[in-house]
């Protein structure tokens, strides 16, 4: 199956019949930049004043705002985490982080052992963090869940991505396939299991296109470098005193900034392309309880423009437009995500689960571990 929306792959007659019985359920995000700015600025100010203590409450407020403004079929999501529990988890992570850095400075050989131990416990931490975050999220009073396996997590989330990196990306699709399978297929909604599986062929096709995009970008950057160097050399030949005055050199600083920004985007854009294609593939193969299907039609160019323009605007405004950027991104993703239900969604019954480990969740926050777009 391609990464085009499932609804577009159906025949006209069967699609019409399906939609009459079970309409496509769109996802809507109703938050606004103005509303979120109020929450965001208060979170930042109180976190600064309290030396980070309020950050736990800030996280809960942020998650509750975004979950509460995400709607499917007239119902929104909810977030149930306790700020005090999150604060305890963050304190533990912070203490361990400080201890690790002190050890690294005083005894580098011991720090190496600690790094190895971290790699060993990382799958366990990720599993516990995913379990906690899932359990703290609900839809229509039904909790999500995650049940992972240490060895499968070690293989799909640590070993295969590392091997993919060592292979210069040649084995990256295998890592992507197994990562998506592990993350999505171990989640559940009440008693119902999610399941997804991506074929390797479309992933390798996406990787090939990302590689071509990278090659074209590098050629373009190389041409710009060669052209700029030639022009500067010619100017220097004509007038040996050129650039002898620091004031003259400062005039070229904006061009240098743009040049380095271009290099960054050269590597970011192929990454965005591959990420979007693999995300669409995973979602368009995702099912719940073996029958309810999901779809995503995120466009590479549109999403890349949103990310790049969000970054530029946020930098130019010294971070003040960050709430607008977050809301803008969320609205776009929600508008390009949908569900194709096969029957009623009222049939799911929540089941008791372990609440996972909040400390592991905070480790994921601190270390920037994220598996979504």
Which tens digits make up the pLDDT trace of 114-173? 888 888 888 998 998 899 999 999 998 889 999 999 999 999 999 999 999 999 889 999
Do 87 and 360 contact (CB within 8 A), yes or no? no
Is 93 or 271 the better-scoring residue by pLDDT? 271
The overall average pLDDT reported for the chain is 83
Burial class of 92 by CB neighbour count within 10 A (0 to 12, 13 to 18, 19+)? middle
Q: What is the pTM of this model?
A: 0.80
Vertex 66 angle, CA 63 and 72, to 5°: 125
Do 66 and 357 contact (CB within 8 A), yes or no? no
Q: Which residues contact 191 (CB under 8 A, 6 or more apart)?
A: 348, 349, 350, 351
Q: How far apart are CA 180 and CA 235, in angstroms?
A: 54
Q: How far apart are CA 256 and CA 121, in angstroms?
A: 43
Inter-CA distances, 99 with 37, 102, 116, 122, 275, Å: 35, 5, 15, 17, 35
Per-residue pLDDT at 223 exceeds 60: yes
Residue 200, helix vs strand vs coil: helix
* Phi, psi (degrees; rounded to nearest 5) at 169: 95, -10
Burial 351-360 (b: 16+ CB within 10 A, else e): eebebbbbbb
The pLDDT of residue 11:
40
What is the pLDDT confidence band of residue 12, given thresholds at 50, 70 and 90? very low
- CB 298: neighbour CB atoms within 10 A? 21
The mean-pLDDT minimum among 119-123, 187-191, 254-258, 298-302 falls in 254-258
Vertex 264 angle, CA 261 and 270, to 5°: 135
């Amino acid at each position: 199956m391609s990464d085009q929306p499932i609804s577009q792959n159906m025949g006209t007659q069967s699609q019409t019949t399906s939609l009459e019985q079970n309409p496509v359920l769109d996802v809507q995000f109703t938050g606004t930049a103005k509303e979120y700015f109020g929450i965001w600025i208060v979170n930042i100010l109180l976190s600064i004043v309290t030396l980070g203590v309020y950050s736990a409450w800030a996280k809960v407020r942020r998650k509750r705002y975004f979950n509460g403004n995400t709607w499917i079929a007239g119902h929104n999501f909810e977030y149930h985490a306790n700020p005090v529990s999150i604060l305890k988890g963050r304190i533990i992570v912070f203490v361990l982080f400080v201890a690790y850095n002190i050890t690294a400075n005083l005894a580098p050989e011991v720090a190496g052992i600690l790094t190895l131990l971290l790699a060993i416990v990382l799958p366990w931490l990720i599993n516990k963090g995913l379990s906690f975050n899932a359990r703290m999220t609900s839809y229509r009073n039904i909790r999500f869940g995650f049940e992972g396996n240490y060895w499968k997590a070690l293989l799909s989330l640590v070993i295969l991505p590392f091997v993919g990196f060592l292979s210069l990306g040649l084995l990256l699709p295998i890592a992507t396939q197994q990562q998506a399978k592990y993350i999505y297929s171990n989640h559940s909604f009440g008693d119902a299991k999610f399941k997804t599986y991506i074929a390797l062929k479309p992933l390798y096709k996406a990787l090939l296109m990302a590689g071509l995009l990278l090659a074209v970008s590098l050629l373009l950057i190389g041409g710009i470098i060669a052209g700029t160097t030639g022009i500067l050399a010619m100017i220097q030949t004509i007038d040996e005193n050129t650039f002898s005055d620091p004031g003259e050199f400062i005039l070229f600083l904006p061009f240098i900034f743009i040049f380095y920004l271009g290099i960054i985007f050269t590597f970011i854009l192929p990454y965005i392309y591959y990420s979007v294609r693999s995300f669409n593939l995973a979602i368009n193969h995702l099912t719940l309880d073996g029958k309810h299907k999901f779809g995503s039609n995120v466009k590479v160019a549109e999403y890349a423009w949103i990310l790049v323009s969000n970054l530029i605007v946020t930098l130019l405004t010294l971070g003040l437009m960050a709430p607008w950027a977050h809301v803008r991104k969320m609205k776009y993703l929600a508008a390009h995500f949908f569900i194709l239900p096969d029957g009623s969604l009222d049939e799911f019954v929540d089941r008791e689960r372990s609440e996972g480990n909040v400390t592991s969740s905070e480790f994921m926050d601190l270390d920037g571990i994220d598996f979504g777009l």
